[in-house]
Every structure is written in structure tokens, then in C-alpha cells.
Chain A
Amino acid sequence: MTKSTKALRSAIALAGVSAFALTACTGPSGGGGGGSTASENASSVIAYGTTDKVTALDPAGSYDNGSFMVMNQIYSFLLNSKPGGADPVPDLAESSSFTKPTEFTVKLKSDLKWANGHVLDSKDVKFSFDRQTAINDPNGPASLLSNIDSIATPDASTVVFTLKNANDQTFPQILTSPAAPIVDDEVFPADKLLSDEEIVKANAFHGQYIIDSYNKNTLVSLKAWPDYKGVLGKPANAGATIKYYTDQTNMKLEVKGGQIDVANRSLSATDIDDLKKDSSVTVHVGPGGEMRYIVFNFDTMPYGAKAPEADPKKALAVRQAAANLIDRQAISDQVYKGTYLPMWSNVPSGFVGANESFKQAYGDGSGKPSLDKAKKVMSDAGITGPVTIKLQYNPDHYGKSSGDEYAMVKDQLEKSGLFTVDLQSTEWVTYNSASKKDSYPVFQLGWFPDFSDADNYLTPFFVRGGFMNNHYSNSEVETLIAKQLVTADKAEREKTIQEVQNLLAKDISTLPLLQGAQVAVSGTKVKGVDSTLDASFKFRLGTVSK
């Protein structure tokens, strides 16, 4: 990958395509670095740095990037993706398929064992999913398993999932998600979480690595595990250390100084911009699923259903005018230095069916804003004077640049003379709950996907009111979302997803602004980082070598 924005666009497009179409052909099965280079370098240990934190190594007790990154090195899944893509392929499974519309059957590989010598069979699989649901920890991902009705284990190598909703096309992806690492039933309790220290002590791992030494959120040492039988194969290194930072500047300085080989999640846009000019390191960019967007509360926004002078046509005109005025490219360039790219639809580019519905419908048609079109929609709706918008953003949850981002949005809207923006910020402690209680007429939100599928950007948002509780409802949208969820034919599903996006662009329940990229910085002699920056959003240390 190169360091320019242009290259970032190419990276997202290419990796997106490879993720969903050519997974089987991309990336070495041996875990990335591959070939002779990998074997030559397999004796070295990779030092990885991050500012993410581990909440818990127990998959039932965490649902965050920091914890999931470690889990991806030490646990296996029934299905996983190879480096280079996001398509689910058998991991612990030998095969998997829908055996009935509501039945998904998985056959396990033979002779699977945990690092502690325990047998790994269908009992462990059923136990792993059942305990997720039973514990239902507030910090855990149990909600992702809501479509599982029951799990049967007819024999030691067969697992049959009975689903509540038939033909769930997202189910294979769910089996690769944070809800799905398989754990040892002889070590983990069925009804409560197991501490990190006990997991490490019990050596309850089946992954490319086992944990050799564990100092939570300080330093974790991983050692390659020779008996791993999953899809990622033998790692391209002998082991890895994960060093945790609080100050991203310290991480930046250490990757520049060679104290760590890879810095990943999260350096600021300014730091990345600075590092791009530094010859001692390489900046790698890959597709990202992160999304930043503005939400309109259909009840309380200007002219909303419960606002003074309620008028749905005028409310729509306000949303359309805003969509015509926002200059996403300027925000991307000036605030995020190209580390976030303009986003033109509710489904990010790279995912099945993603289109650019907002680009076609608003602005000048090529992505630039259009003042004339904004003025026209406002005057057509009978709005004469500037409309006052109370715009809320959050200063502590979506990164330090949110303030700059929303100052720019305010400026872009006000410059038109069509809006007066009352910009306000609230800390996350109250922001999230207040936003769902109609406190904010127009507000900022962000999203990181639970799993790599377009539906994860649709169902949670636009079905039965969505998690945003912004009072948007469109039965046609809901019908199409339900349809794509169970459409097995890829082309047909893609078409349906595009139809959903086009409808959403007409209604503008949310206004997508930016799509984040994955960025990692490495020493110039480090190889294999690009292989893992794919649409699965899983950083696999096994691909990295030096």
C-alpha cells in the first residue's frame, strides 16, 4: 500500500472486492508473510503496540476491539476468514452449510485438542454459545446470537444450530464475530466469567498462539503454538508481544525508534500524516468499517413531528438542504488528513451492495456541495428564513477530532445562509442515553461493525425504529431489509441492498459523512502487515514477520 489518499481509496476498493469475491485466491494459507520469507523469519518475535485495552479474555465478558484482537490470536472459531478477506471459511469446521432453512450444520475437523491437552469437540462448541447466552454479560456480545433457537450435538464432531429466522445470510459471519470464539468446557464455568489470569493459567487456548506471559494492559507475550489446526496456519513468526500504551505519542515515538515493530489502533490523523513523511517507517492503510454520521430525530428536528410548526415536507427539505451543503471531502482532508474518507451511503464501500446513493442524489452529483440545490429545496418547501439547528456532538467517545469535525459542519451549513447552527457537546456518560431520549434534534454518532456484512449497517439502524430511536419508519425499507437478510442469491441480495440505500438516501434518516480506514505503522523491514488489513477488520499477528 502507498501513503496517499488515492491509494487509500484503491485499498478500500480492492480489499473490499477481494473480501467478498476472491477470498480463496488471496493471502497465503500459512498466515500471510508466507513462502520462504516466512520460514526464514519464523524465528523472530514481533513487537506490536496499541492504545486499545483488553476488557476481558473471556469471550462472554467483552465486546471491544482491544479484547477481540487478543482473542483472534489465541482462540479459534467455527468459521473464520483468511488474511486478505472477510468471507467466512471453515476454521475449526471441516464443512458448514444450511441443511434446512432454519438449520445450520457444522462438521468439525478431527483430533482437535486444546493447548492444555483437553479434547476439543462439539460439546465445547455448544457450551461456548450456550454460556454466551446464559451469562449475557453487559460488556459481552451475547446480543449477536439472538437468532439461535437451540444447538444440538448429535455426535462429537457435529453441531446443528437451529435458527429462529430461516436462511439468515448473516449467520456464517456471526460465527466469525466476537460472540463466537470457542472455549474449553473443562475450564470455563457455564454461568459466570473466568478471569484472565485463570484462563492463562489453564492454558485454555486453541489458536495460532498461546499466552506465554500476561500482564494485563501492560505487556502480553504470545508464543506460536505448533498444534494449531485452524485456517490461519503456521504463523510467520515465532511469537509476538503486545505492548499497551495510553499516550499515542509514546507509541508513535517507539515505532519510529524501532522499540515496537507495528503500531496499530490508534494514532491521530496528525501523527499518521507526520509518519507518512518519515522514511524510517511505513504507513499501511486498509479498508475500514467505521462510519461517522449525523442522525436526525424525526420528532424533534426543525419541523419534526413533535416540533413547533410540525411539517414533514419542511423537515425533509431541511435534511435535503443539509445533504446538499455538507462537503465531506473537506472534512476528510482538513480534519482527518485522509485517514477517513467521504462516505456516500449508509453501507460503506467494500461491502456487498454498497453504492453511492447520496452522491447521486445531492450536491453537484460528483461529491461537491451545491448551494443552489440547497436553496431550491428550502424555497420549494416554503422555508424563507434561516433555520436554527441544535447540533450535538460528543467530544470524548469518537476521538479528539470530533470538535474540529463538527465545527466544520457548522461552518459549512451556516456559510450557506440557510442555517443557524447552535453547536453543543455533551460527554458520553450522558450523551448516549440522552440521544435516545429525544434530547437532541440533530446529533453525531459513529459505528463500528459487529461483523463484516452490509446488513450490520442496516438492520440495527432502520428496523423497528432502530437503536437510535430517532422515530424514522419506512415499511418499504424494512421489507427490503428483511428480504436481503434471507436472500441466498448474491446478485439478488446485492440489488436489494442497493434499493434499500436508495430509499434511505431519499428519506435521510441519517446523513453518512465519513468512512474510516484501518491504519498501521511498521518498521520498514516488517512484512505482512498489508495482508491482515482487510475487510474482516481482524489484525492477525501471524501474518507479520521481519
Chain B
Amino acid sequence: MATLIDAPPPTVAAPISKSAGGGLGRYILIRFLLIFPTIFILVTLVFFLMRITGDPITAAQGGRLPQEQIDALVHQAGYDRNLFIQYIEYLGHIATGNFGRTISDGRPVIEMLAKFGAATLELSINAVMVALLVGIPLGMFAAHKRDKVPDAVLRMFAILCYATPVFFAGLLLKLTFSVGLGWFPVAGRASTTTELAMGRLAAPTGVYWLDALRSGNLAAFGDIVHHAVLPAVALGLLTAGVFLRLVRTNVIGTLGRDYVEAGRSRGVSEYRLVTKHAYKPALIPIITVMGLQIALLLGGAVLTETTFEWKGLGYQLAQYLTARDFVAVQGIVMLLAVIVAITNFAVDIAAALIDPRVRY
């Protein structure tokens, strides 16, 4: 982590050589096409890794049923057939959006993914907002106060942020601000009243604060934000620490450039140099690193959701893992992998749009 943060700026996505053709359109096309083999490899890996331990029904039943009944269920589900044929069928099914049904509670996997994916998306958006709101201003401030006490304090704060396990941070925040001070709710995405209201909204996106805003229910919006603060901070601080160090390093690097030196010699204040001239170039690597952080964020969401009863994909993943429901687990892992692949694609495009050097 330290190597990544202290690396010289602006290291971004690997540039495509001119011999590859260049041009934004071609760059986007190649990056887009790369998504498919990535997802294909992930799907294959997940499928076969899940089957190392045997068929999903035997794993989920855990010996509760007589062997004959398990055999009948395995046969009925087709898990006793050739594994390669099952794999080809599985590919066919997911190509048409059919992920099957969960073994433990029989619900369609695709519905489960849509419902709980929205909750995880909401938590991730909240966490990214915390990371940006905390990491960028504090990083710029630390650069402005370079080698002074505030800088040292902020650097220590950054290290604490990304070195503290997310479940520990969550627990600490909960104990302090929920149990101790009583400022925030202990668990959940909203109070019961709001949860019921959200369930009754005609066309909810599943992202509660968005649904509340769309329906103009400001009381519900306030309640949702109130519930979202601690989980978002617990998860967002992990990335905020990375952003803080990255912004600080890049701003300091930019402040040493000739054009900034020229500004300085003309009597432009240090504050103005940081806020007007150095911050833009310093933000470019943030976008690239954000792509890398998405995977970390989703990993952290599993722990944060469990700590705060935030019923999203991470929470469900823990439930289904306990139940040995590998059909559900396979679906969730697949979706998370697809999100990471697509996010990285989006980040690559954003980086290319902001910094033309990326695509040449």
C-alpha cells in the first residue's frame, strides 16, 4: 500500500502504444471488448472452484437428509451429469440472465442480486462520497502544510484509516456513536417506518435515499441519511486514507513544477497555488486508484454490512456461505466480479478523457 501511495505522480493506466492505433474511440472499443474475456475467465473460475467440493445440493444439505433423498435431488437438479456439460449449460443460462434459484430459500438468484445489489450500491456510493469529502480536502491541506505538525497528524490519520480493519472501525464507531453517545442508530438502512414506506413506493430503485428524494419524502430521506452515516464512514475511511496520501503526494509534486514556481516567484500565495493550480493534476490519479479501490470497497462492504445489518450483497453473501448455498454464492461472486470489471472500464475511460496521455 505504501509503495502505491508514495509512487511518483501521475502513474495511471498503462498507455496504449501508438502502434496500437491510438484515438479515443479505438481505445474505448478495446477496453470495452476486454471486459468480456475478463468476465468469461471469472465465470469459469468461479464455476469450477465452487464445484471442487462437490455438487451444491450435497453441500447445502450438510447430511440432514438420507443419502437416497440427496441423490434424488442431485439427479433432479442435474448435478450428477458431466461437469463440462453443466458448465456449458450454465454459460447458456447466465447469457440469458438465468442464474437459477438459491438452494436455501428457493428465491430466484437474479431477483436476489437486483434487490441486495441496490443496497450494496447505496453503501458503496455513500462510502465513496465519504472518501472523497475526507480524503481530497485533507490531502490538499496536508500538502499546503507540508512537513508541519498538521501534515504529520494527517499522515498518521491516513495510515490509521487504511491500516484499521474495516470491521474493527465499524465496531468502534458503533460502540462510540451508537451505544455510547446514542447519536446514530445501531443497525439497519432505515427505521421500521421508513423501511415500510420504501417497500411501498411504486417504482423504487432500491437505493433508499434516491427513492426517498424521488418521492419527495424528506423525513424518510433524513432518516436514511441518519442510518447511513456510520456504515459509510466505517467503509469510506479505508479509501479516504488512500486518497489523502495520494492527493498530498501529487499536490506536493505539482507544487515543484516550473509553472508553479513561476507563479510563486510572481507572489501568488501558497494557498492559491494549491487550490487553483495544483489540485486539478493531483486529482487525475485519484480516478485511476478509485478503480482499484472498488474491489477493496466491495470486500469491505461484506464486513461493514454484517456489522451494521445493512442488508446488501455482502450481508447476503455471509448468510449464504453459512448455509453452504453455493448457487447463491456463485451468483453474488459473479455479480461482484462484473461490477469490478465494469467499474475498471469506466475508470479507464474517465482517465483517458481527462488525461489524453493515457490513450497515446
A259 close to B196 (CB less than 8 A): no
B196 close to A246 (CB less than 8 A): no
B192 close to A254 (CB less than 8 A): no
A546 to chain B, nearest CB (A): 15
Per the bound structure, the CA–CA distance linking A430 and B199 in Å amounts to 39
- Which of A127-135, A154-162, A275-283, A431-439 forms part of the interface with chain B? A431-439
Q: Is B63 an interface residue (CB 8 A)?
A: yes
A221 close to B63 (CB less than 8 A): no
Per the bound structure, the CA–CA distance linking A246 and B309 in Å amounts to 7
Per the bound structure, the CA–CA distance linking A144 and B178 in Å amounts to 46
Question: Which of B65, B104, B191 is in CB contact (< 8 Å) with A55?
Answer: B104
Question: Which of A53, A55, A61, A431 is in CB contact (< 8 Å) with B63?
Answer: A431
Query: A195-B107, A213-B200 are known contacts. Are A429 and B192 too (CB-CB below 8 A)?
Result: no
B192 to chain A, nearest CB (A): 5
In residues 214-259 of chain A, which contact B (Cβ within 8 Å)? 215-219, 221, 241, 243, 245-247, 250, 253-254, 257, 259
A219 close to B63 (CB less than 8 A): no
A243 close to B192 (CB less than 8 A): yes
Per the bound structure, the CA–CA distance linking A278 and B311 in Å amounts to 29
Q: Is B210 an interface residue (CB 8 A)?
A: no
Chain A residues near B248 (CB-CB < 8 A)? none
A138 close to B65 (CB less than 8 A): yes
Q: Which 4 A-B pairs have the closest CB atoms?
A: A433-B63, A432-B63, A250-B187, A429-B62
Query: A56-B106, A215-B199 are known contacts. Are A247 and B309 too (CB-CB below 8 A)?
Result: yes
Chain B residues near A436 (CB-CB < 8 A)? 63
For the complex with contacts A53-B319, A246-B306, 5 further pairs of A-B residues with Cβ separation under 8 Å are A213-B200, A218-B195, A246-B315, A430-B63, A436-B63
Per the bound structure, the CA–CA distance linking A53 and B106 in Å amounts to 13
Query: A213-B196, A429-B324 are known contacts. Are A245 and B69 too (CB-CB below 8 A)?
Result: no
A259 close to B306 (CB less than 8 A): no
Q: How big is the A interface, by class?
A: 20 to 34
Chain A interface secondary structure, helix, strand, loop or mixed? mixed
Residue of B nearest to A254 (CB): B186
Residue of B nearest to A396 (CB): B322
In residues 65-109 of chain B, which contact A (Cβ within 8 Å)? 65, 67, 69, 73, 104-107
Q: Is B139 an interface residue (CB 8 A)?
A: no
Q: Is B173 an interface residue (CB 8 A)?
A: no
Residue of B nearest to A430 (CB): B63
Query: A61-B106, A241-B192 are known contacts. Are A247 and B63 too (CB-CB below 8 A)?
Result: no
A253 close to B178 (CB less than 8 A): yes
Q: Is B59 an interface residue (CB 8 A)?
A: yes
Per the bound structure, the CA–CA distance linking A137 and B342 in Å amounts to 40
Query: A253-B179, A254-B186, A429-B59 are known contacts. Are A241 and B105 too (CB-CB below 8 A)?
Result: no
Q: Is A15 an interface residue (CB 8 A)?
A: no
Per the bound structure, the CA–CA distance linking A245 and B196 in Å amounts to 16
Per the bound structure, the CA–CA distance linking A11 and B112 in Å amounts to 43
Chain A residues near B191 (CB-CB < 8 A)? 259
Chain B residues near A61 (CB-CB < 8 A)? 106
A240 to chain B, nearest CB (A): 11
Q: Is A193 an interface residue (CB 8 A)?
A: yes
Q: Is B300 an interface residue (CB 8 A)?
A: no
In residues 121-150 of chain A, which contact B (Cβ within 8 Å)? 138
Q: Is B318 an interface residue (CB 8 A)?
A: yes
Of residues B67, B306, B311, which shows the largest number of chain A Cβ atoms within 10 Å of its Cβ? B311
Chain B residues near A428 (CB-CB < 8 A)? 62-63
Per the bound structure, the CA–CA distance linking A64 and B65 in Å amounts to 15
Q: Is A47 an interface residue (CB 8 A)?
A: yes
A138 close to B63 (CB less than 8 A): no
B125 to chain A, nearest CB (A): 20
B318 close to A246 (CB less than 8 A): yes
Query: A56-B106, A246-B319, A429-B62 are known contacts. Are A241 and B196 too (CB-CB below 8 A)?
Result: yes
Q: Is B126 an interface residue (CB 8 A)?
A: no
B199 close to A219 (CB less than 8 A): yes
